[in-house]
A and B are shown apart, each in its own frame.
Chain A
Amino acid sequence: MHQRQVIRTNDFALKLANVNGTGSASANGLLMQAIFRMGIPVSGKNLFPSNIQGLPTWYEVRVSKAGNTARALDYDLVIAMNVETYARDVKEVRSGGTLLYDSSWPLEAALERPDVTFLGVPLAKMCNEIFNDSRERILMKNIAYLGTLVALLDIDMGVIDELLDEKFSKKKALRDSNHKALRAGYDFATEHFDCPLPIRLEKMHATDDRILIDGNTATALGCVYAGATVAAWYPITPATSVMDSFKELCAEYRKDPETGKNNYCIVQAEDELAAIGMVIGASWNGARAFTSTAGPGISLMSELIGLAYYAEIPAVIVDVQRTGPSTGMPTRTQQGDILACAYASHGDTKHILLFPSNPGECFTMAVNAFDLAERFQTPVFLLSDLDIGMNDWVCPRLKWDDGYRPNRGRVLGAAELEKMTKFFRYSPENDEHVAARTLPGVHSKGAFFTRGSGHNKLGHYTEVPDEYQEVMDRLAKKHKAAAAAVPAAILHKQVDAAFGIISLGGCDPAVREAVAALAERGIIADYLRVRGFPFGAEVESFLAAHERIFVVEQNRDAQLRTLLTMETSVAKEKLQSLLVYGGFPLSARHVIDGITAQLERAQRERI
């Protein structure tokens, strides 16, 4: 069947279907990086299994000159390298699109589609001819299809060469193998196919002042710049790379120039119970300390989070959310820990939450988290997710203000203590209901017995109802005071909006794209992205200003909506949920379809 050839430059999506552990990640990363270096806005989503080798894995690349980086659901080109998932991969090609497969073996006729162009490249055969080593034959197939894509998509070969040279600058043999495989794939394509395809690339300058970075690296970088010295953690997907990066960065930037010793201490704990205990112990002792974890770790940490809340000890907890409950799907994304973190631990507790929506914000909010934790002497959660944390995002270059100094909150030094007649830990309080704390090793006048048991405003043990309540009431006021200190929500306002949308975190690119697409259809919405909890006044005004508000989030139970109904004065009926929680990143189409369907339903009901 002949398709009308519409040329689409810098605006398409492709999906690569691979087998986990066969070296595809490296080739797919190169592809994304090459497009980035051509100056074209691009996003990559790694949809990988909880497995080391053998299970299916996918990588999606979206190229968008308009800068839309949310996940695409229609694929113009599918690179089907996994025989096991062939059938479903063929179905995912957009009508009129192209499928690239390894023609070393014949394709099952039943799987062919008349509306799709099938391009066969004998990748395995080619690599078997070029390479002798069996492992190399497998690995280089990926680079060979990359070579084919260079021809099909008109990728700048100079850029790819440059990337390979950089990557293998110290491994000449590997570099040569890569160049050979790349060339083989490229040559086959130019000899056998019409290159480039109607979907193609063309250099732009949209990424000149941008970087390619994943959220976990950015978070770790934020922790380094914030001055964190103690880190304790237990390995868990998808948070592990936060600590891997922190360790790498510390090795680079935190060796004392005079002694060569470490100006940091990273402890791999026996479990998350211990990891949070270490953070609390270190913060109690005056260091900036943090842990990185995911939902299962939050469950374990909940006990001691209550201790930190009640004894008023700073703690920074990075939660890179994954799909729950229980073990759930460890390599899939979700926003399922909002409520668990907001109220973590038994008894009356509530915490400060920060919601970064991209790696750039992971960096800045990691710094905010330490300042807030020490200013309010309480645990602060940085709620990232797997999509933000583990995928590479194109972000504006990170900036650092050399004038920044940590806000250590109210801490009394030796001189101040010396002048005091008597120090009491929990009074007097300031306007934000925070009292001064003291650190061990400074002055015996500051000595204090920290406890998670009932205490009065002087810090003494108590079981007297009024004394207990007085402290608990102050803690509630302190939490409220933090509303003005967390990063403010960001409002995208339009003229004559018919309704509002509230969302958070990694939903942002999809929601922004959807808002623009809906506006083109004449459906006008204001969009508010919340960035912190407790909610600031701007959230209240947005809620008050709109009669109908869609709350877009990635969990089953509408956790953000629940938090809004509990912690603001909004009428529950005003909030309509749009929930996508299957584990893959949100797409604009989910939002557009979800909102239009609900609007149509409302219209029908009115008639």
Chain B
Amino acid sequence: MPSPKPAIIHPHLRPNSLGLTIRDYEGSPSTLCAGCGHDSVTAAIVRAFYELETPPHMIAKLSGIGCSSKTPTYFVGTAHGFNSAHGRMPSIATGANAANRSLTYLGISGDGDSLSIGVGQLVHAIRRNLDMLYVIENNGVYGLTKGQFSASADIGTKSKRGEANQYSPIDPVSLALELGASFVARAFSGDKGQLVPILKAGLSHKGFALIDVISPCVTFNDHEGSTKSYLNTRKKMLPVIAADFVPLAAEITTEYAPGSAVSVKLHDGSTVRLRKLAEDYDTGSRQAAAAEVELHRGKGEVPTGLFFVDTKSRDMHDISGTTEVPLSQVPYEKLCPGSAALDELQKSFR
């Protein structure tokens, strides 16, 4: 068991408007390997929620099975969590969201959970434009079963034992773009400056937001010859589009060179400013985003950034015409047609 966290509160920990400090958004101590990329993602999530000032009881954290799926216990301990079954988190999240549309849904998954056993559920959650943030902590490897390749492993990447992967990888970013996801991004767990604003934008987005986070496995996939090691990711990572998140109440203070940035207003009124780091990048075009991602991937690079946002898409409830009141809170009196209606209906059963 890891030792408990010290109880001393740093004097600089400022409470947010809810009176909560960043500590209040933390969870139990991590039981992952020291240096695991996932712990950096956890820290970024803690910061994102703290800065967004989300009430913890309005957060639903969901996951499947795997190292990444363990992490919801490590953040926002005062939020409800659901560690479900391998590859089945998207369906649990769909049902949860159907029952109560007022919560913020954060799904944490891995490349095994999302791209192999759960790929069927992932693609359909995207199709429905389920209102949630879906984070894939992608390390190209199965950790808990000790180092088998996952479906995101690149061709030629080497396992710890030296075996080279021969099968072509599934790229969750290309997949999400192709399937019509309304928010598609990639980040690196080692770059918190990039990850936190993308997470905040993803949490504020209405509709399905997918963030593929390259999150190296220090134990099974951080060696020479691995394309998802810390070293290789730092070397090959290419930020093509940066996202600066501006919350609803804040003022935009950063100056941008004319024509270099685009403001996108999110559903909750906050803004994300997209800065083009590569030339000729069209932020509003799904096709352009897909082409850009493919181009860099072909060169062995790891393009990162918020590739595509569609703020006008309709989520599952818009499409279904569901009432604004969470279904779980609609009073029974409104749901039961009563005996008179039953008598009337039965006239047609004669």
Contacts and interface: CB of A to CB of B under 8 A. Distances in A.
Interface in A204-252: 211-213, 221, 224-225, 227, 229-230, 232
Given A281-B99, A287-B100, A267 B121 contact: no
A402 interface: yes
Interface stretch (A17-25, A63-71, A141-149, A450-458): A450-458
Interface in A443-469: 443-453
Contacts of B94: 232, 267, 274, 277-278, 281
B335 A254 contact: yes
A253 interface: yes
A227 B342 contact: no
Interface string B120-156: 1101100010000000000000000000000000000
B248 interface: no
Contacts of A405: 332
A55 interface: no
Nearest to A402: B339
Contacts of A402: 338-339
A286 B85 contact: no
B100 A261 contact: no
A212 B91 contact: no
B317 interface: yes
B320 A266 contact: yes
A422 to B, nearest CB: 12
Nearest to B77: A447
Contact of A279 (B80, B95, B350): B95
A441 to B, nearest CB: 5
A398 B78 CA distance: 46
A259 B91 contact: no
B99 A307 contact: no
Contact of A441 (B102, B128, B334): B102
Interface in A431-445: 438-445
Nearest to A228: B335
A256 interface: yes
Interface in B325-350: 326-330, 332, 334-339, 341-343, 345-346, 349-350
B338 A232 contact: no
B320 A212 contact: no
A593 to B, nearest CB: 35
A273 interface: yes
B346 A211 contact: yes
Interface stretch (B53-61, B203-211, B214-222): B53-61
A452 B83 contact: yes
A277 B121 contact: yes
A295 to B, nearest CB: 20
B346 A441 contact: no
A450 B90 contact: no
B3 interface: no
A230 B98 contact: yes
Contacts of A451: 82-83
B336 A447 contact: no
Nearest to B346: A211
A397 interface: yes
A263 B103 contact: no
A261 B346 contact: no
B158 interface: no
A289 B99 contact: yes
A176 interface: no
A87 interface: no
A27 B82 CA distance: 52
Interface string A22-48: 000000000000001100000000000
Contacts of B323: 256, 259, 261-263
Nearest to A225: B336
B321 interface: yes
Given A225-B336, A281-B98, A230 B84 contact: no
The CB with the most chain B CB atoms within 10 A, among A213, A286, A443, is that of A286
A261 B98 contact: no
B322 A265 contact: yes
A262 B322 contact: yes
Contacts of B91: 232, 269, 273-278, 281
Contacts, number: 226
A270 B121 contact: yes
Nearest to B86: A303
B116 to A, nearest CB: 14
A120 interface: no
A282 interface: yes
Contacts of B96: 281-282, 284-285, 440
B275 interface: no
Contacts of A271: 120
Interface string A381-415: 00000000000000001111110111000000000
B95 A230 contact: yes
A444 B79 contact: yes
A278 B324 contact: no
A284 B328 CA distance: 10
A439 B328 contact: yes
A37 B55 CA distance: 61
Interface string B88-126: 101111111111101100000000000000001101100
The CB with the most chain B CB atoms within 10 A, among A36, A261, A444, A450, is that of A444
A264 interface: yes
A259 to B, nearest CB: 6
B335 A229 contact: yes
A398 B326 CA distance: 30
A317 interface: no
Given A261-B323, A400-B338, A447-B56, A277 B92 contact: yes
B81 interface: yes
Nearest to A261: B323
A227 B332 CA distance: 6
Given A227-B336, A287-B328, A278 B58 contact: no
A449 B60 CA distance: 10
A193 to B, nearest CB: 31
B293 to A, nearest CB: 25
A145 B282 CA distance: 68
Nearest to B329: A286
B156 to A, nearest CB: 33
A280 interface: yes
B303 interface: no
B58 to A, nearest CB: 6
Nearest to B339: A400
B341 to A, nearest CB: 7
B147 to A, nearest CB: 22
The CB with the most chain B CB atoms within 10 A, among A212, A264, A271, is that of A264
B339 A401 contact: yes
B335 A263 contact: yes
A304 interface: yes
A274 B324 CA distance: 24
Contact of B349 (A211, A400, A443): A211
Contacts of B317: 265
A286 B328 contact: yes
Interface of A: 36-37, 211-213, 221, 224-225, 227, 229-230, 232, 253-254, 256, 259, 261-267, 269-271, 273-287, 289, 303-304, 307, 397-402, 404-406, 438-453
15 contacts: A211-B349, A224-B337, A256-B323, A261-B321, A275-B91, A277-B94, A277-B95, A284-B96, A397-B346, A402-B338, A402-B339, A405-B332, A440-B57, A440-B96, A449-B83
Given A229-B99, A449-B80, A451-B82, 9 more contacts: A227-B336, A253-B341, A263-B323, A265-B317, A270-B123, A270-B124, A273-B121, A278-B92, A441-B102
- List of 9 A-B pairs having minimum Cβ-Cβ separation, nearest first: A277-B91, A281-B95, A278-B95, A287-B99, A286-B328, A440-B80, A282-B95, A285-B99, A211-B349
